[in-house]
Chain A
């Protein structure tokens, strides 16, 4: 089995079939809160991709080469949340200093990411499930791109829903949640899409 094919398949399955929002339920708060306008959802999504990738690249080696040899693997949650929070601040610092244009489009979403479950969920899941480093990267990449994809799609649907004639009780969040349910059903249908490939 080609490692590259396995890598791509892992990315695709954590992106679509096991989508981070619609089947793993990470990051529902920004999914519902920042999806009214396409622009904001795009900014949020890109910021999440960036932070998840950085967190995956740092947390996995941190766990394997520092926490486990030191005999304190049980401190993982505390360490991860601190690493993620510092990462968010440092990223914000850098783009504030060196790229005002990037800050203009991403800056305001960065502080929101510390309390985004998706980042901690991916970092914690990678080590809890005992994934290898390559698989962790695939998981991080697939998860974050899946988040970007779904939040942008969802915001496009929501802008249409704003003008649609929905019953009064369903206005706002309820109809958005029902829409999310239908999207989840659609993604379930993709399971086993590449089952012709022998692993």
Chain B
């Protein structure tokens, strides 16, 4: 197989994967929360050992602090 063709295939595969991820990402966000799950928390505990900013708990706790 020629070098250029391999690169084209690589681009196609990667773009397809990113597209799948993006679509599922948007779809997950747009799906409404089921009833009764609006205020789910991890048993009122804080993730003390993790300050991962991308984590959803992190943001929740911060916004609560702001209030």
Contacts and interface: CB of A to CB of B under 8 A. Distances in A.
Contacts of B17: 78-79, 82-83, 86
Contacts of A78: 14, 17
Interface in A84-111: 85-86, 89-90, 92-93, 96-97, 100, 103-104, 107-109, 111
B47 A34 contact: yes
Interface size grouping (class) on chain A:
35 or more
B5 to A, nearest CB: 9
A191 interface: no
Interface stretch (A17-25, A35-43, A123-131): A35-43
A172 interface: yes
B28 A89 contact: yes
Q: From DSSP, what is the main secondary structure of chain A's interface residues?
A: helix
A173 B52 contact: no
Interface in A171-187: 172-173
Contact of B54 (A66, A103, A104, A115): A115
Interface residues of B, number: 34
Nearest to B45: A36
A193 interface: no
A34 B33 CA distance: 23
Interface in A44-81: 66-67, 70-72, 75, 78-79
A8 interface: no
Q: Most chain-B CB neighbours within 10 Å: which of A32, A66, A108? A: A108
Contacts of A190: none
A86 B21 contact: yes
B27 to A, nearest CB: 6
B35 to A, nearest CB: 7
B13 A70 contact: yes
Interface string A107-125: 1110110010000000000
A111 B48 CA distance: 17
Q: Most chain-A CB neighbours within 10 Å: which of B21, B31, B36, B41? A: B21
Interface of B: 1, 6, 9-10, 13-14, 17-18, 20-21, 24-25, 27-28, 31, 33-37, 40-43, 45, 47-50, 52, 54-57
Given A85-B21, A108-B40, 4 more contacts: A71-B9, A86-B17, A96-B33, A103-B37
9 contacts: A32-B49, A33-B49, A37-B45, A72-B13, A79-B14, A89-B21, A100-B35, A108-B56, A172-B48
